[in-house]
Amino acid sequence: MALLPILEYPHPNLRKVARRVEHFDDELRRLVDDMFETMYAAPGIGLAATQVDVHRKIAVVDVSEGKDQPLVLINAEILEASGVEEMEEGCLSIPGLHEKVARKERVRVRYQDLDGVEHELDTGGLLAVCIQHELDHLEGRLFIDHLSPLKRERALKKYEKLRKRERA
């Protein structure tokens, strides 16, 4: 396994739309293993392939306390969504920035596993929010895109200050 470099905002490849996975093979398994290793090391609770500059519809998620409930979502799509939940979100591609984002409270998602077998998952809370966040990445969207223009501008100014401090 290997740690993969995570793209950081404003890298233009974060805006690329991922394409469907057609081949479920050892190369895919290696990529997913590397994505989990990268996510856990970051540390994070979700990582989309777009964030590691691979533009295929793959996301890995683990919101468990013990980091022992890995979930692989390949070619995932949200079938139903309901309610509204506002939760503070962060992103491995925008390190250090956290903002409250309104998302659907519950989602039903269809996805494929590493063998290409189709599954459906009905979930809520943090897992639902995390899935929405990661699937947004695969469509070229970032969590800051869900903020009002004023909040987004303030958040990006705060992020730029954080980056300047890190470089100093």
What would the DSSP string read from start to end of 65-94?
A: TTS---EEEEEEEEEEEES-EEEEE--TTS
Which residues are 78's β-sheet partners? 109
Let me know: does 85 contact 125? Beta carbons within 8 Å. yes
pLDDT tens sequence for the chain (168 residues): 799 999 999 999 999 999 999 999 999 999 999 999 999 999 999 999 999 999 999 999 999 999 999 999 999 999 999 999 999 999 999 999 999 999 999 999 999 999 999 999 999 999 999 999 999 999 999 999 999 999 999 999 999 999 999 888
Residue 168 confidence (pLDDT): 82
| DSSP run (H or E) holding 118 | strand 118-124
Let me know: does 100 contact 128? Beta carbons within 8 Å. no
Residue 151 confidence (pLDDT): 97
Residue 77 annotated in active site: no
Residues 27, 134, 153, 166: which is the catalytic one?
134
**Is the torsion defined by CA of 160, 161, 163, 164 positive or negative?**
positive
Domains of the chain, CATH where assigned: 12-167 (3.90.45.10)
| DSSP run (H or E) holding 137 | helix 125-138
